[in-house]
């Protein structure tokens, strides 16, 4: 899958002034590659991630998915795109602590139009891919921070998406655990997934196939 941004803009009104969160961003990313987007807090990197993930409609420009304008679709099509073609990973995990790792990974199927008959098998496989085969029945609240993020990644890939979008996935982890998570995401890209990591940690760019840096809503390095 190819995702392309063409002069994407996102404007907000704040205290009577216009904030240009994205100011004419153009870039492209493909399945099978690891893209790292760096920038300071407030630079626009999460807004860009939300735009390509179908979460936040741009004010101007276009987001193309395999050549088709993503936001020309209706709300149902956008919902299917988010649920079926994109997996999301967040800094704060967003797990239900009292539910098991397996139950947390099964959550995306609750929103599927037709949940697959092999949903539990897929969830088992996803947890195995992230190295948590032995923790399947463990409540998420009892897992370490690194294990929780692995559960979140398993949940993101259980629907077999084309892209995984990770917003500060190492932000709540120590350096060593964070490096393990980045290596896991790197491995997913090598297996054919598109992986986009948004981070303030410029060191992560060293493992990227494509590195972009954004400042004041504009890509200042790596623009395509």
Domain boundaries, the chain: 31-57+75-221
Q: Is 11 helix (H, G, I), strand (E, B) or coil?
A: strand
Between CA 179 and CA 98 the distance in angstroms is: 27
- Cβ neighbours of 160 (radius 10 Å): 13
Positions in the chain short of pLDDT 50: 224
Of 47, 7, 45, 41, the closest CA to residue 27 belongs to 7
Q: What's the pLDDT score for residue 223? A: 54
Distance CA 145, CA 82 (A): 25
Residue 41, number of CB atoms within 10 A of its CB: 8
The C-alpha atoms of residue 159 and residue 13 are separated, in whole angstroms, by 36
Query: Which CATH number is associated with domain 31-57+75-221?
Result: 3.40.50.300
Q: What does the pLDDT read at residue 66?
A: 97
Dihedral sign, CA of 100, 104, 106, 107? Answer: positive
């Amino acid at each position: 899958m190819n995702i392309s941004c063409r002069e994407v803009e996102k404007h907000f009104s704040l205290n009577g002034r216009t904030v240009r969160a994205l100011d004419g961003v153009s870039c492209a990313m493909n399945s099978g590659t690891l893209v790292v987007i760096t920038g300071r807090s407030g630079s626009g990197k999460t807004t860009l991630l939300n735009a390509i993930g179908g979460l936040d409609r741009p004010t101007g420009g276009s987001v193309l998915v395999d050549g088709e304008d993503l936001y020309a679709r209706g709300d149902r099509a956008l919902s299917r795109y988010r649920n079926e073609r994109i997996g999301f990973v967040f800094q704060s995990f967003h797990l239900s602590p009292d539910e098991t790792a397996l139950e947390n990974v099964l959550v995306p199927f609750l929103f599927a139009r037709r949940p697959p008959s092999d949903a539990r098998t897929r969830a088992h496989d996803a947890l195995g891919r992230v190295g948590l085969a032995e923790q399947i029945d463990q409540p998420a609240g009892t897992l370490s921070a690194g294990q929780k993020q692995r559960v979140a990644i398993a949940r993101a890939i259980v629907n077999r998406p084309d892209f995984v979008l990770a917003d500060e996935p190492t932000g709540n982890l120590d350096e060593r655990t964070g490096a393990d998570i980045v290596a896991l995401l790197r491995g997913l890209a090598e297996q054919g997934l598109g992986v986009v990591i948004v981070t303030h940690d410029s060191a992560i760019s060293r493992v990227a196939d494509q590195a972009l840096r954004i400042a004041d809503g504009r890509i200042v390095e790596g623009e395509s």
